[in-house]
Amino acid sequence: MEIFFTKLQGNGNDFILIDEMEENIIPDSMKGQFSGLYCDRRYGIGADGILFISASEDADVRMRLFQPDGSEAEMCGNGIRCLAKYALDMKYVKENCTIETESGVLSVDMEYDAEGEFSATIDMGKIIFEREEIPAAGKGKYCEEIDGMAVYAVNTGVPHAVVFTEDLESLPLCERAPQIRHHDSFPKGVNVNFVEITGDDEIVIRTFERGVEDETFSCGTGSTASAAVANYLGKTGDIVNVTTKGGPLTIYITEGRATMKGPAVTVFKGSISF
């Protein structure tokens, strides 16, 4: 038996995509185990997660994402761009489409420019500041001190914590982030973003991702969350240029909603033999 896959990346946030448009290739009960095995960078293909694309009753296609620890993520900004590119290339969708995620149905606009570079603009939906919906313990908007750090939290498809710093480059991210990621305030855990303001509408971020349990090169929902908090606090305007380790993203904030624009690249295709 052969399972065909496509490897894609969005700003260095990389994914293995399995096409289940015609049939269920990996049983649902095995998807988490499959992700844990093949996301491994030494003994597997290597990725930050596995995307499954399938038919949807509510949108043009459906996306599911399983992470290296076997858990299923509600949404992923870089992942949805990668899946959208694959769907467009396979002619499953047109340049304007909708994608069902565990966080709801999101609209996508895609294009190839004159040089053949792909980009997608994603309606990331409402920015959720209320603790009950993040989810986070307590009432009202989240701002707490954790181990001496001022932590803000929002949900931009998945829960994110945001911490501002003036020295992002030398920050020991993988030492500091787990204290927030596993804090009792967050019943489902939380992704953690450390953010440095570098201009009027410019931020640089580093993200520790829940489920990957490590720093990733980029995080679309984390970029959105960081831009949303920076905007809410008056540190930036409504258009925020975000620099991640893997490259730039642009976040647009309009009346409590966010839109994200960024690239996606097909890396290679292959097959797994059983």
- The span from the CA of 180 to the CA of 57, in Å, is 37
What average pLDDT does this structure show over 13-35? 97
Q: What's the Rg (C-alpha) of the chain?
A: 18
Sign of CA dihedral 83, 89, 93, 98: positive
Task: For each of the domains in the chain, give its residue range(s) and CATH number, in order of start.
Answer: 2-123+262-273 (3.10.310.10), 128-255 (3.10.310.10)
- The span from the CA of 172 to the CA of 33, in Å, is 30
Instruction: Dump pLDDT digits (tens) for 133-187.
Output: 999 999 999 999 999 999 999 999 999 999 999 999 999 999 999 999 999 999 9
Q: Which two tokens stand for residue 7?
A: 């490897």
Q: Is 221 a residue whose pLDDT tops 80?
A: yes
Burial class (CB in 10 A: 0-12, 13-18, 19+), 72: middle
- Binding-site positions for substrate: 13, 67, 77-78, 191, 209-210, 220-221
What average pLDDT does this structure show over 240-247? 97
Name the catalytic one among 39, 82, 97, 219.
219
- The span from the CA of 207 to the CA of 176, in Å, is 11
- The span from the CA of 106 to the CA of 88, in Å, is 15
Which residues, at least 6 apart from 110, have a Cβ–Cβ distance to it below 8 Å?
Answer: 84, 85, 88, 95, 96, 97, 118, 119, 120, 121
Q: Is 253 a residue whose pLDDT tops 90?
A: yes
Name the catalytic one among 39, 76, 82, 97.
76
Burial class (CB in 10 A: 0-12, 13-18, 19+), 42: exposed
- The span from the CA of 194 to the CA of 190, in Å, is 13
Cis peptide leading into residue 172 (ω within 30°): no
Measured in degrees and rounded to the nearest 5, phi and psi for residue 189 equal 75, 180
Confidence class of residue 1 from pLDDT cuts 50, 70 and 90? confident
Type of residue found at 253: I
Q: Is 274 a residue whose pLDDT tops 90?
A: no
Type of residue found at 107: S
Under DSSP, the state recorded for 43 is T
- Binding-site positions: 13, 67, 77-78, 191, 209-210, 220-221
Check residue 165 and give its pLDDT.
Answer: 97
- The span from the CA of 190 to the CA of 182, in Å, is 7
Which residues, at least 6 apart from 172, have a Cβ–Cβ distance to it below 8 Å?
Answer: none
76 is catalytic: yes
Instruction: Dump pLDDT digits (tens) for 84-112.
Output: 999 999 999 999 999 999 999 999 999 99
Instruction: Dump pLDDT digits (tens) for 190-220.
Output: 999 999 999 999 999 999 999 999 999 999 9
Q: Determine the distance from the C-alpha atom of residue 87 to the mean position of all C-alpha atoms in its chain, rounded to a whole number.
A: 18
Q: What is the pTM of this model?
A: 0.93
